[in-house]
Amino acid sequence: MYQLCPSILSADFNRLGEQIKTLEKEGIEWLHIDVMDGDFVPSISFGMPVIKSIRKESKLFFDVHLMVTEPERYIRDFVECGADSITVHAEACEDLERTIEQIREAGVKVGVSIKPATPVNDISHMLSDVDMVLIMTVQPGFGGQKYMEECTEKIREVRELIEAEDLDVDVQVDGGINDETMETVLTAGANLLVAGSYVFNDDLAKNVKHARERMDEIIRRID
């Protein structure tokens, strides 16, 4: 399963509902929602009230990425406000195994993420316990950054581990996705691509159509 996952961190919040409707019309199925607390990452974004509000008007899959310290404190709250999947950072959890259990018990999909400097080995023992691994290819907390080339090998490493264990686990990439880096990450083994400024800058509908066509073209070549 391949998905383009637009990140509303780059959306125009004055037109958020309208832009989500545009994404739906253009065939998008996943919406990436970055929650930042100003502690784990320097920036502060938005939280439960925004998710609850847009949940009322959208049937998209809400892919909630918690860039927060001790995310286990908020799992139930984010599920109740509409998350379909919750991704936590390995670096942010006091007890990663227990946090993953909490998410699973809450009845939603489970993701684990690592920063660019964190080795894959830190989470390799947990691959069978999650539905998705999110590889950050920029420093978390800010949009519009350039893709960090050194992360490509981490994408490849995670995909190889998943295939070696014959697991049904998605590999998501977040950071610096554009026409060029899209081919890099798909070829390395990613199947879920988070896109912010790449799709939200200027004409959203046109950008999404272009990105999906580009993605389909690459997938046909590598499959």
Residues acting as catalytic residues? 34, 174
Residues 6+ apart with CB under 8 A from 204: 19, 22, 23
Question: 142 among the known binding-site residues?
Answer: yes
Question: 210 among the known binding-site residues?
Answer: no
Alpha carbons 170 and 131: distance in angstroms, whole number: 6
Alpha carbons 160 and 23: distance in angstroms, whole number: 32
Question: 38 among the known binding-site residues?
Answer: no
Question: 27 among the known binding-site residues?
Answer: no
Q: Looking at the chain, how many residues does it have?
A: 223
Question: 144 among the known binding-site residues?
Answer: yes
Question: 143 among the known binding-site residues?
Answer: yes
Question: 196 among the known binding-site residues?
Answer: yes
Question: 34 among the known binding-site residues?
Answer: yes
Alpha carbons 64 and 61: distance in angstroms, whole number: 9
Question: 189 among the known binding-site residues?
Answer: no
Find the DSSP H helices in the chain. Answer: 16-25, 48-55, 75-80, 96-105, 152-164, 179-188, 197-200, 204-222
Question: 113 among the known binding-site residues?
Answer: no
DSSP per-residue string spanning 102-128? HHHHTTSEEEEEE-TTS-GGGTGGGGG
Question: 65 among the known binding-site residues?
Answer: yes
CB atoms under 10 Å from CB of 160, counted, come to: 13
Q: CA separation (Å) from 65 to 47, 112, 174?
A: 11, 9, 10
Q: Do 63 and 30 touch, CB atoms closer than 8 A?
A: yes
User: From the annotation, which residues make up the binding site for substrate?
Assistant: 7, 65, 141-144, 174-176, 196-197
Instruction: List binding-site positions.
Output: 7, 32, 34, 65, 141-144, 174-176, 196-197
